[in-house]
Structure 1
């Protein structure tokens, strides 16, 4: 009896043997983070170039700390391991409002993971088809900056990058509404992510909370290839906090559009006017949201008349209402989870027909 117990004790670790694969092995595919890079801690998912750290917020049009979060970013990988574990770390100095992850198999959301900002991030899940290769997509949080350290899988199993054909890209330009304020730290609940799924495009969320029209970003749009769609929803912070006049707003917007069109001559660019908001006017200038809306519609009409037929206008206030706003807050502008989902549906109705033309 002692012999069999000893043998079982020896064999047990072999039956449950695991191996650790560091992030540096690149056994996964990164999507939504154009400028990702390996650091001593692991893989850092960057939506914006590292050089932006050298610029002031006034030059960027947004706060770089918020820009270093991972809204819209995902990693895809294929494995036949019966169990998979991923370890992440969030730098102490980084923006961190908690970390919400979502696991997809195909188009189906199969599991959600939520971590408070003080919790270690360890994500573990079982293969629904043990022994068979399954391809996963793990969507990262919108308001933290998790660095991937490693994977842990069964010792005799494999882990490899997802080699499926890359989808055409969708660039979402905007501020906190597009970044995801109002949907916790859940990228997968933001309207750009939901819209990308509906349109079967790969989201690259270039929105930043507190953002204004960014000349620096406009000059880096050329870094992205295979872009089918770009949406621009920006102006609330220009109006309320920066106090731009209508003329200043339209001039800055026009310059951004010129850079965007130069980088992407045939991409469908959708300019969305300010959504429904409880804010009646700028306390700095007394300018109303409607003044920005009318001016933007006129700008798009003018550029279409000049020949840009791939530029389109959507009246954001016409497809949103107070029902879209966060129900748990007096917040005058940000979408709740229902509001973001409904907004994505309304956008799909107007954008989908344009993409087949």
Structure 2
């Protein structure tokens, strides 16, 4: 087997690589953000490789990737392991579940954490199609990984994409929470169906109109940009209506500083029963501890809305009104998130933990978004 160093030209969907004692760790946010705001939640989420692909042009039929994953787990609750998905010439071929690596285990009753060290894992894909092809290894959306070694039975080289680039920002749902594999998160479903490159800036718990995220979007090359805001603002109880609307306006203004004419789509929250009419903060339901399936609950009261606290229904109304007032921008579009997942869908495809969709629902959302955004006449259609 031929060993090839894993370097930045082979990786898509990243802001940079960090050298470690084992190899390199991909990051989805640049170093200056991680230094400016070293929030543990944000740092954990941005290092999880949602939408990141190791991409190569090769005639290889056998590919191995040696990696050291790190995952978060809850004592007494099942959390599925991450996976690496194989895509060849834009078509999904196979998936391999990770094992090994490090586990950061959290005791939900006490908040205590413990690190359980593990060993690297070798992910192997055999009997790939013959001939030259573009091979993509989609890295796990729910674990961080140190990439140690790439082995193939034929030489590899970085591949030019030539596809249009879609940059998306959102919450844990955009990152892929509760989806089973990295190509089954809804943004990946959309990207593969629509034949576009994905840069996924979905960060669990961290889509709150942060100025530094707007600056990253401003400075990132993009043919299309979408921003899905609202659910994290509610379940963090991060701001009141008076602060939220100007924050979103400033967020969009900053993006426009670098992308004055790029199609820009603002998306309001998907349906989520616990927060439709009840403000946050959101919390883990203590009655679910130790049951094997942790669920979420809303911690506010419905009558708090009169004091300016936010619910999903309030946010949708505010974002729709905001978009109308920005009608002078011909390339700004607004999508009500319930067009992607609504109350009727929730009855047929309930959220397993009351907050995040399962794999089947990610597929539904991704297919709907592709039909809306990338179909002829859509905001991201070829003009």
* Common topology (TM > 0.5): yes
Q: What TM-score range do you get, normalising by the shorter chain?
A: 0.7 to 0.9
Shift of 1:340: 1.3
TM-score by length of 1: 0.83
Match of 1:170 in 2: 166
TM-score, structure 2 length as denominator? 0.78
In the alignment, which residue of structure 2 is the partner of 1:121?
121
Higher Rg? 1
Per-residue deviation, 1:30 = 1.2
- What residue number does 1:68 align with? 47
Quote the residue 2:179 is aligned against: 183
RMSD, aligned CA: 2.7
Q: Answer yes or no: is the 8 Å Cα contact 2:71–2:144 preserved in 1.
A: no
Checking the alignment, whether the CA contact within 8 Å between 1:271 and 1:311 is kept in structure 2 is: yes
Q: Report what 2:357 is aligned to.
A: 335
Report the CA distance between 1:76 and its aligned residue. 1.1
Structure 1 gap ranges (5+): 1-17
CA distance in 2 between counterparts of 1:243 and 1:161 reads 42
* Structure 2 counterpart of 1:86: 65
Aligned-residue offset at 1:266: 1.5
Helix, strand or coil for the counterpart of 1:335? coil
Cα deviation, residue 110, structure 1: 0.9
Q: Secondary structure at the match of 1:220?
A: helix
- Runs of at least 5 residues in structure 2 that lack an aligned partner in the other structure: 102-118, 280-299
1:281-321 deviations in whole A, cap 9, x for unaligned? 101643432111111001001101xx201111111123313
Which whole-Å deviations, capped at 9, do the CAs of 1:81-101 have from their partners, x for residues lacking one? 442211111258999963211
* SS of the residue 2:202 aligns to: coil
- Show the counterpart of 2:150: 151
Return the alpha-carbon distance in structure 2 between the equivalents of residues 94 and 147 of structure 1.
Answer: 18
Deviation at residue 198 of structure 1 after TM alignment: 2.6
User: What is the CA–CA distance in structure 1 between the aligned matches of 2:137 and 2:171, rounded to whole Å?
Assistant: 24
Please point out which of 293, 296, 317 is paired with 2:338. Answer: 317
Asked if structure 1 preserves the Cα contact closer than 8 Å seen for 2:350 and 2:357, the reply is no
Find the aligned partners of 1:153 and 1:23 in 2 and give their Cα distance: 12
Q: 1:230 aligns with which of 225, 230, 241?
A: 225
Moved more, 283-292 or 247-256: 283-292
Measured in 1, the distance between the counterparts of 2:346 and 2:162 equals 32
Out of 180, 187, 192, the residue aligned to residue 197 of structure 1 is 192
> How far did 1:104 drift?
0.8
Q: 1:15 maps to what in 2?
A: none
Q: Are 1:103 and 2:86 counterparts?
A: yes
Deviation of the 1:38 alpha carbon: 4.1
Instruction: Determine the structure 1 residue equivalent to 2:95.
Output: 112
Aligned length: 328
Distance 1:347 1:82, change over 3 A: closer
